[in-house]
Structure 1
Amino acid sequence: MEAHTSIAPNQKTSKRPLVLASIMLAMFLAAIEATIVSTAMPSIVAALGGFSLYSWVFSAYLLTNASTVLIFGKLSDLFGRKPIFLIGISLFLTGSLLCGFATSMTTLIVFRFLQGIGAGALMPIASTIVGDLYTKEERAQIQGYLSSVWGISAVTGPALGGFFVDYLNWRYVFWMNLPLGVLAIIGVVWFFHENVEKKSHSIDFAGSALLMIGISSLMVLLVEGGIGIPWQSPLAIGLLLIFGICLIGFYIQEKRALDPMMPFSIWEYRSITIANVTSLITGMILIGVSSYLPAFVQGVMGMSATVAGFTLTTMSIGWPVSSMIAGRLLLKIGFRATSLIGGVALVVGGLFFFLLSPDKGPVWAAIGSFFIGIGMGMSTTSFIVSIQSTVDWKTRGIATASNMFMRSIGSAIGAAILGGVLNSVIQTTIEEKQLGESVTLDTVNQLLDKEGRANLSSSTQVALKEALTLGLHQVYLGLLVLAVISLVLILFLPKGEKT
């Protein structure tokens, strides 16, 4: 099916460059939130206390972001992109303002939930607005610009976070969003015009509730499983049951709803199904690299955090650069061929990580990271443009959101599975080497810090390095397998541009 090249005919001509600048600014705020907060977290914990809740500052944002992205995508199809985008950015800015005023770790986490809800609207709707305003030919290049936002935020986030902590106050990490967010609102209000057909809508409240409860249960289990919640505990089993019941209930509800939250018809397109399943896999690869590469560089190679950051920065460079190139390749060789280049790059990156050893050095790790970035940029840009060219305006919002949702869920699943593999191998190695009761999984944290390593005996250091190396090698074997699976899936994409 050929898509509409613009949203339901505009009464006024939107000033596309200014609208693009506004939505890129909004996307930048949502994207930078993870990296800029990570830099400020030691200062935040020092001020607010509650170290045991450390991980939830990140998890709260991820959880509500993932559980609302599909809902906002659907609402934008019903009521138009503009009002839903403005609601999303308003929630995000309100959450940012309140985070800056937080007086305890608990209140900070609550306000991060609110921030995450707003971010759930920003990401998919920004990409959908581009799909509405630009033709298929233009869309390929513009989506590359949007992808570059991720690279820019990854590079500038830690630097900005450090600046605010060192020269102002950690609260400005959140408050910096306010003036930039207001600029984005002004740009969208003044320069983006859409003419949405006025008619009554049947809102699928039941489907929305089942989706949010089910995904939230899954995300809590994946984030806390094996850490705060033992895998075989009644709570873990209960969360899994809630997810399963809600999933079944959601399917039944969507089949009978007049205007379903998730129209299953979009999954009948092979290009969308393959793109979404592959995005689930690449989401697992992405979290595997970003979470565990610093551990190898610091813990096994004994390098500094700065060097570890460099090895990840190369991925942040490869992603936007390849996205820009993908925008041009899409028009010349098509979606499938461009995606295949991305799939091959992921496998090459996976091979670099599989062959990674302490003597290879950080440059080897950085090259592998760069290839992963190339693969992500090529594939994600191809998928989004392909999806938006497959469906019409009425389902473009939910179709775009479904792809981002699958990648988010993939990251959460990947974090749980790969983290479980790593912990299991390390624990087994510690037991085999009989290092004593004082040496546990948490002792591995000391390998990541120069002062911490100095407090360990040389024999313990050697044993823990070996354990960490073996564990991470299994993680990287998993990444290579996932990369190969993603390449095989891409081979099943339709050869023609039309589905």
Structure 2
Amino acid sequence: MAAIEGTIIATAMPSIVADLGGFHLFSWAFSIYLLMQAVTIPIYGKLADLYGRKPVFVGGVAVFLIGSLLCGFAQSMTQLIVFRLIQGLGAGAVQPIAMTIVGDIYSLEERGKIQGYLASVWGLSSIIGPALGGFFVQYAHWAWVFWVNVPVGLLAAAGLMLFLREDVEKKKRQLDFPGSLLLFLLIGSAMVVFVQGGVRWPWFSTPVLLLTVFFLIAFVLFIQVERRSPEPVVPLGMWKKRTIAVANIGSVLTGALMMGVSTFLPTYVQGVLEKSPTQAGFVLAMMSIGWPLASTISGRLMTRTGFRPLALVGGVFLILGAFVFLTMRESFGPFWPAGGAFLIGVGMGLATTTFVVAVQNAVEWRERGAATASNMFARIVGTTIGASLLGGVLNNRLSAYFQANPVDGTVLDIGLADQILDPEKRQALDTAITETVQNGLVISLHSVYTGVFVLAILSMISMALWPRGEKRRAGTSA
């Protein structure tokens, strides 16, 4: 349910905009969901440690399903954005607590394998999601993109209520309301900057600078509050553990790297190689194939090799995949980037599964929810940073190329890149314009993949900082 939600709406969005209008707002339908999911993940993780996984997971699913139901009834883009906000509020509980439950009910020897199986769900969903969204739009109504969550969510919640047994210590709990509010404010301000900076607002504009100052003030206050709180929403002592710090830094970097591939690779395949969206989807799907395969393998090898060697091997594959993208040429055809996507998928599968299991293994039950949530949050922050910064690189380089290479004395508009992606619109363009736009895309995307390569190197460095001979224990469950 959580995995498909990230891809199924993308296919349906053109039909939703055509029905509801509000084209200038539609990006917020994605951004608000991501924002609310990100700001609530650490809070849900702490609540799961205080009150148990079951009530928090079921409560989060309930909020998510209410939002999903309302989204299908939306009569305007503004309503859809509000209902997506509700969806995001519930979504923050789904993925991190599901992975936390795996950490609770399986031993270390089994945990890696099961987390690998969960990773394969994400790979499969990246293929099924767009196809399912297209099916609903063509043969039913776009509302079913949201309503399909309802039976799945009810089944998941019922299964957990019936079969999960947990023994939570009965004692009076003291919620960290000030810390939760400050965490919400500081993450929210940072995410808005990353989502809107360089897109709607220039990086050095007044809104970005004000939000940055607000973030810094909220961050300082948050640290002070958490140090004094008896039940901090983010246990600061947990971050002093080298394994958790390294895994979360690695998750930020690999999340940004992954976004550089998944966001801009279809642009290269369709705009430069002039292949169909289906072929672009095939090229990108290679990452989804490599990821679950490597996750399953890493889960089986984890107890034999330890965390550090697997993470380092994952880092090597990330560098190899990034190097393939860095050396792409039009004459190589689509199989070259497909190979790079597969290598990146293998690297992500090895690294991310290792990160999650290592973080869970580094803490006891009472902190496992917060630890798992911190890793999920780090990855979301990475994807947001990657999409924003690499998107800014693409736009700036493309704009600079058009400025330096006018066609018949006219500087091309960056919006022409959209028309290059559509075969019919591309054929209607003048040959000189098409060649200029494609050349600009080649140069701009090369800069993007230079950034991806740098991120791969930084990821490898972070993995090299992993503590040697880390203690591997079976972990404790409720």
The answer to whether residue 421 in structure 2 is matched with residue 448 in structure 1 is: yes
Aligned residue in 2 for 1:325: 297
Q: Distance in 2 between matches of 1:410 and 1:274?
A: 14
Q: Distance in 1 between matches of 2:163 and 2:194?
A: 41
Match of 1:261 among 218, 233, 250: 233
The answer to whether residue 168 in structure 2 is matched with residue 183 in structure 1 is: no
Aligned residue in 1 for 2:476: none
Aligned residue in 2 for 1:141: 113
Q: Distance in 1 between matches of 2:136 and 2:463?
A: 43
Give the CA deviation at 1:230: 2.5
The answer to whether residue 137 in structure 2 is matched with residue 157 in structure 1 is: no
| Structure 1: runs of 5 or more not aligned | 1-28
Q: Distance in 1 between matches of 2:209 and 2:470?
A: 44
Give the CA deviation at 1:475: 0.6
Aligned residue in 1 for 2:22: 50
Aligned residue in 1 for 2:139: 167
Give per-residue Cα distances to partners, 1:7-45, cap 9 Å, x unaligned: xxxxxxxxxxxxxxxxxxxxxx11111210001111111
Give the CA deviation at 1:233: 2.1
Identical counterparts, % of pairs: 51
DSSP 3-state at the match of 2:306: helix
The answer to whether residue 22 in structure 2 is matched with residue 63 in structure 1 is: no
Q: Distance in 2 between matches of 1:188 and 1:138?
A: 20
Give the CA deviation at 1:438: 6.5
The answer to whether residue 76 in structure 2 is matched with residue 104 in structure 1 is: yes
The answer to whether residue 257 in structure 2 is matched with residue 285 in structure 1 is: yes
Give per-residue Cα distances to partners, 1:250-309, cap 9 Å, x unaligned: 111111112111111111211111111011100100110010000111111111111111
Matches within 5 A, 1:115-126: 115-126=87-98
Give per-residue Cα distances to partners, 1:217-252, cap 9 Å, x unaligned: 111121112222222221121111111111111111
Aligned residue in 1 for 2:199: 227
TM-score when normalising by structure 1: 0.93
Matches within 5 A, 1:24-39: 29-39=1-11
Q: Distance in 2 between matches of 1:236 and 1:140?
A: 41
DSSP 3-state at the match of 1:229: coil
The answer to whether residue 368 in structure 2 is matched with residue 368 in structure 1 is: no
Q: Distance in 2 between matches of 1:497 and 1:138?
A: 18
Aligned residue in 1 for 2:446: 473
Match of 2:100 among 128, 136, 156: 128
DSSP 3-state at the match of 2:282: helix
Aligned residue in 2 for 1:491: 464
Aligned residue in 1 for 2:475: none
Aligned residue in 2 for 1:334: 306
Instruction: Give the letter aligned to residue 353 of structure 2.
Output: T
Judge which range, 356-365 or 473-482, deviates more: 356-365
Give the CA deviation at 1:215: 1.1
| Structure 2: runs of 5 or more not aligned | 473-478
Give the count of matched residue pairs.
471
DSSP 3-state at the match of 1:452: helix
Q: Distance in 2 between matches of 1:112 and 1:357?
A: 40
Instruction: Give the letter aligned to residue 445 of structure 1.
Output: D
Instruction: Give the letter aligned to residue 449 of structure 2.
Output: Y
Give per-residue Cα distances to partners, 1:406-433, cap 9 Å, x unaligned: 1110111111111111111111110011
DSSP 3-state at the match of 1:197: coil
Aligned residue in 2 for 1:195: 167
DSSP 3-state at the match of 1:410: helix
Aligned residue in 2 for 1:3: none
Q: Distance in 1 between matches of 2:199 and 2:463?
A: 35
Does the CA contact (< 8 Å) of 2:68 and 2:149 recur in 1? yes
Does the CA contact (< 8 Å) of 2:136 and 2:142 recur in 1? yes
Q: Distance in 2 between matches of 1:286 and 1:113?
A: 25
DSSP 3-state at the match of 1:92: helix
Instruction: Give the letter aligned to residue 448 of structure 2.
Output: V
TM-score when normalising by structure 2: 0.97
Q: Distance in 2 between matches of 1:286 and 1:247?
A: 27
Give per-residue Cα distances to partners, 1:365-414, cap 9 Å, x unaligned: 11100111111110111111111111000100000110111111011111
Q: Distance in 1 between matches of 2:96 and 2:194?
A: 23
Give the CA deviation at 1:453: 1.1
Give the CA deviation at 1:174: 0.5
Instruction: Give the letter aligned to residue 329 of structure 2.
Output: S
Does the CA contact (< 8 Å) of 2:49 and 2:370 recur in 1? yes
Instruction: Give the letter aligned to residue 187 of structure 2.
Output: I
Aligned residue in 1 for 2:319: 347
Give the CA deviation at 1:356: 1.1
The answer to whether residue 367 in structure 2 is matched with residue 395 in structure 1 is: yes
Q: Distance in 2 between matches of 1:93 and 1:65?
A: 14
Aligned residue in 2 for 1:6: none
Q: Distance in 1 between matches of 2:358 and 2:208?
A: 38
DSSP 3-state at the match of 2:211: helix
Q: Distance in 2 between matches of 1:264 and 1:249?
A: 14
Judge which range, 434-443 or 171-180, deviates more: 434-443
Match of 2:274 among 289, 302, 321: 302
